[in-house]
Structure formats: C-alpha cells, structure tokens
C-alpha cells in the first residue's frame, strides 16, 4: 500500500502525530495518561484472574476503556485520517495505472530445480515488472489487495498438458488476455461485480459464481485453467 509513499511523507505524519500528542497531553487533556494507566490496571487484573467471572469483566472493561481512550486522542485521529487519505490516493492511482502482469522469467541452459524461484511475489499493492522475453512456465498463484490487475499471457509458452492460474483479490477489476489458440476453463466467484468472458456477459453478480469452458477444452492443447475470486470487482477475459 505504501510502496510509492516517500519516507519523508511518512516521517512528517509521524512527527505531526507526536507533536499533537504532546500538545494534547500537556495543554488540553492531561487525564489521558491516568485513563490509560487505569485501563491497563484493569486489563492486568482481569487477565490474571480471567478464569473467574469478575476477571473477565475487569479485562473487557479495561480493554474497551483503553480502545476508546486511544481513539479519542487527536493524534490518533490524525494518523487514521492520514492513512485513509493515502489509501484512497493509492487506490485511484492503481485505477488510472493498473498493474500489468506479464509472467516472464529468464531461461538459461538448465531447467529450474524443484522449489526454485516463483514467477511472482505476493504483493498487496505495487507494480511488478519482468523482462520481455521467453520464460519457463510455472503455475501462477496470486493474492491481491486493492486496485486493478491485468494478467497477460500473450508472451508465455504454456505447457503441453494444462496450466493453472489462481487469483484471489479483494477490491478491483481483473483483466485477463488469453491467446486465440489456447483452450480455457474459468471458474469465477464474486461477492459483488460483473463478469465478461469472451462474448458472454453476466451484468450483475451478488455472492455468485460463474463458470465457462471452451468447447474443445477437454480434447485440445494447450489449455489453461483460471480460478478467480474477488470481494468486489469485475472480471473480463479477452482473446489476444
């Protein structure tokens, strides 16, 4: 999420947060320290005697009191607002410049050993770039967070049997390019979104699944199995 946020920006937010905390404690709300110590004492006593009913009551009263005390602090509210602003900015940047994934790694004279380097790193936010030349195929397993993802298979050399692509994503759209000569099996699930696979479209999905199988998937090769799931977002599969 904060890959493109400069260190100076993060440091500025932390410095402003510390200044606000000091000003609040010294000039406006000196009772915060007492409230936190009081809550901490309740949590400690409750945890020590948690097996007893009064211990459970003490623990949860202390924990809730500590949470509300922290959330009432101006410094904490400022940091939360700053994180939300950075999050929204990162999301809209990813919408304007979606991550384009072309799974390619360099091939030398020898085969990769079992358990070798994976094609992709798991990233919640951020771009991935790879060299633009041939690679040895490995099944893809991607977990995403927020923003759009573009999976481009036009530069790949798929195996003779079956390739597998698995994508689990939270919020954002998925766009998958598949070569014309490749047979495709797709299983997609979404809590909220739409699906468009070649000429077939599903305009509304609400906690539903959609599947598609090319007519010659079981008899022709190469072929790719695509399994995707999103919390909220659209999927579109195109020929290229």
- Would you write out the chain's pLDDT as a tens digit for each of its 240 residues? 455 566 567 667 777 888 888 888 777 776 777 888 888 888 888 888 888 888 888 889 988 988 888 888 888 888 888 888 877 877 777 666 666 655 544 444 434 344 545 555 555 554 433 334 555 667 778 787 777 788 888 777 788 788 888 888 887 888 888 888 889 999 999 888 889 898 888 878 888 888 899 988 888 888 999 999 988 888 999 998
Cβ(82)–Cβ(13) under 8 Å? yes
User: What is the tally of structural domains in the chain?
Assistant: 2
pLDDT, tens digit, 9 for 90 and up, residues 128-179:
333 345 556 677 787 877 777 888 887 777 887 888 888 888 878 888 888 8
Pair 43, 56 in one domain: yes
Looking at the fold, whether 211 and 195 belong to one and the same domain comes out as yes
| DSSP state letter for 96 | H
Are 12 and 92 members of one domain?
yes
**Same domain as 116, residue 46:** no
Q: Are residues 12 and 119 in the same domain?
A: no
In a domain, 178, yes or no: yes
Model pLDDT, residue 39: 86
Distance separating alpha carbons of residues 139 and 161, to the nearest angstrom: 12
On whether both 113 and 218 belong to a single domain, the answer is yes
Q: Are residue 110 and residue 223 in the same domain, yes or no?
A: yes
| Domain range for 72 | 7-96
User: Is there a single domain that holds both residue 53 and residue 156?
Assistant: no
Q: Whole-number mean pLDDT of the chain?
A: 77
103 and 71 part of one domain:
no
| Contact assessment for residue 136 and residue 111, using Cβ atoms and an 8 Å cutoff | yes
Assess whether 108 and 92 both reside in one domain: no
Task: Select from 96, 113, 143 the last residue of a domain.
Answer: 96
Q: Let me know if residue 1 belongs to a domain.
A: no
Nearest to 86 by CA among 151, 3, 20, 30: 3
Q: Could you tell me the pTM of the whole model? A: 0.54
């Amino acid at each position: 999420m904060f890959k493109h946020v400069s260190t100076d920006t993060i440091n500025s937010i932390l410095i402003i947060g510390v200044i606000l905390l000091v000003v609040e404690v010294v000039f406006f709300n000196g009772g915060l320290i007492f409230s936190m110590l009081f809550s901490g004492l309740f949590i400690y006593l409750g945890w020590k005697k948690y097996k007893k009913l009064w211990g459970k009551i003490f623990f949860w009263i202390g924990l809730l009191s500590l949470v509300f005390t922290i959330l009432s602090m101006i410094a904490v509210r400022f940091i939360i607002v700053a994180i939300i602003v950075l999050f929204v900015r990162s999301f809209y940047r990813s919408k304007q410049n979606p991550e384009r994934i072309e799974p390619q790694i360099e091939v030398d004279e020898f085969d990769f050993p079992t358990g070798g380097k994976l094609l992709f790193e798991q990233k919640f936010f951020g771009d991935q770039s790879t060299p633009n030349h041939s690679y040895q195929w490995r099944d893809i397993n991607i977990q995403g967070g927020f923003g759009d993802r573009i999976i481009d298979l036009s530069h790949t050399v798929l195996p003779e049997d079956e390739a597998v692509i698995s994508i689990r994503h939270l919020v954002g759209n998925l766009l998958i390019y598949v070569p014309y000569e490749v047979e495709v099996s797709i299983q997609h699930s979404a809590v909220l979104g739409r699906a468009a696979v070649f000429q077939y479209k599903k305009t509304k999905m609400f906690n539903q699944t959609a599947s598609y199988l090319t007519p010659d998937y079981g008899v022709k090769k190469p072929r790719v199995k695509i399994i995707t799931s999103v919390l909220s977002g659209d999927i579109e599969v195109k020929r290229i």
